[in-house]
């Protein structure tokens, strides 16, 4: 049963990590290379992330510079950025593509915070579902007589502590991202 608890904790940890990764692609009015993680370019018939076919740098807080390794890919990179949901127009000079990240309006910030809270709640739900799965296993073992009532209570308490710990982590990550988004 201890092994099952460790597996559940790993799955809860992965839920938090997934949320952090998801938040990193959210635009907060600041340029970061992670904004381009979900932008795929048709690289000779293969959808390829921009960061795997170019050097992405942040020379200024609101500017991303993309320098493709293959200059022939410039039009495809521009097209992929325009098709993405970033809402940023690429500017090309033949050697590099520049993306100026516009400041967010108050309304856009509030919309992003709503999306952020929705994703945080989805993370909490995933953690509660994991808790329910392990609790069902524990109760099943207790009914079969494989573990005592005291052991079942201890495992149920351990599971609740894990749930509280990772729910709190999700709240902390969401609060930090919300602060970042609302920052002017």
CATH classification of the domain holding 92:
3.30.1360.40
List, for residues 25-53, the tens digit of each pLDDT value.
776 667 778 778 888 888 888 888 888 88
**Could you tell me if 128 and 152 lie in one domain?**
yes
Question: DSSP letter string over the chain?
Answer: -HHHHHHHHHHHHHHHHHHHHHHHTS--SS--GGGGTT-EEEETTEEEEGGGTEEEEEEETTEEEEEESSGGGHHHHHHHHHHSTT---EEE-SS-EEEE-PPPPHHHHHHHHHHHHHHHHHHHHHHHHHHHHHHHHHHHHHHHTSS-HHHHHHHHHHHHHHHHHHHHHHHHHHHHHHHHHH--
Residue 47 structural domain: 33-100
**Could you tell me if 163 and 130 lie in one domain?**
yes
**Could you tell me if 93 and 122 lie in one domain?**
no
**Could you tell me if 18 and 52 lie in one domain?**
no
**Strands lying side by side in the sheet with 54-60:** 54-60, 63-68, 97-100, 90-92
In percent, the amount of the chain with pLDDT more than 90 equals 38
Residues 163-176: what's their mean pLDDT?
Answer: 94
**Could you tell me if 42 and 72 lie in one domain?**
yes
Calculate the average pLDDT of the chain: 88
């Amino acid at each position: 049963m201890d092994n099952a608890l460790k597996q559940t904790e790993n799955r809860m940890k992965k839920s938090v990590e997934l949320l952090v990764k998801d938040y990193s692609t959210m635009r907060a009015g600041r340029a970061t290379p992670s904004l381009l993680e979900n932008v795929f370019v048709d690289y000779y018939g293969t959808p390829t992330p921009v960061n795997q076919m170019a050097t992405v740098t942040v020379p200024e807080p609101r500017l991303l510079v993309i320098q493709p390794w293959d200059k022939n890919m410039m039009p495809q990179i521009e097209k992929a950025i325009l098709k993405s949901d970033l809402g940023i127009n690429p500017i090309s000079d033949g050697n590099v593509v520049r993306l100026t990240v516009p400041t967010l309006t108050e309304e856009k910030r509030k919309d992003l915070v709503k999306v952020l809270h929705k994703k945080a709640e989805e993370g909490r739900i995933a953690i509660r579902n994991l808790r329910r799965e392990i609790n069902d296993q524990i109760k099943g073992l207790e009914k079969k007589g494989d573990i005592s009532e005291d052991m079942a209570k201890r495992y149920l308490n351990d599971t609740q502590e894990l749930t509280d710990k990772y729910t709190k982590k999700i709240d902390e990550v969401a609060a930090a991202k919300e602060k970042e988004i609302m920052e002017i």
